[in-house]
Amino acid sequence: MQNKKTLVLGASETEWRYSHKAVHALLNHQIPVVAVGKRQGKIKSVSIERDFPAFDENIHTVTMYLNVQNQEQYRSDILKLKPQRVIFNPGSENADFARELKNANLEVVNACTLVMLSVGNY
């Protein structure tokens, strides 16, 4: 799974947030993580940045922890990034954006990253 570098969009230092738990779970599965959030911070060894990552970072998966309104500012960046898939975690589902991603030949998954990792289908 090391080749599935993942961007956690909506990352938070707040321990009870699912984005925080996802960073921990991804690291526990030896998956490289890039984290972007509203506030800079750190989760284990991962720095939470406020800026979207460079387009040459070979991001395999974007896992979304933002509601529909907060996703808007990242739509074009995600499309330019061309990840292999985008995971819409519960509460972040966005049918309009999912359609746009599918039209760009990107895999779209409505699922929980934590569950996917725990059952081995990440």
DSSP secondary structure string for all residues of 18-36: HHHHHHHHHHHTT--EEEE
What's the average model confidence in pLDDT over 21-33?
A: 97
Residue 55 pLDDT: 77
What's the average model confidence in pLDDT over 48-59?
A: 88
What's the average model confidence in pLDDT over 6-29?
A: 97
Q: What are phi and psi of 48, to 5 degrees?
A: -90, 120
How buried is 105 (Cβ within 10 angstroms: 0-12 exposed, 13-18 middle, 19+ buried)?
Answer: exposed
CATH for the stretch 6-119 = 3.40.50.720
57 has pLDDT over 90? no
- The model's pTM is 0.94
1 has pLDDT over 70? no
- Contact yes or no for 65/46 (Cβ under 8 A): no
Q: Where are the domains of the chain?
A: 6-119
Cα 111–chain centre separation: 12
> Which own/partner pairs from 1-4 qualify as long-range (CB within 8 Å, at least 24 positions apart)?
1/29, 1/30, 1/31, 1/122, 2/30, 2/31, 2/32, 3/60, 4/31, 4/60, 4/61, 4/122
Confidence class for position 16, pLDDT limits 50, 70, 90:
very high
pLDDT 10s digits, 68-108: 999 999 999 999 999 999 999 999 999 999 999 999 999 99
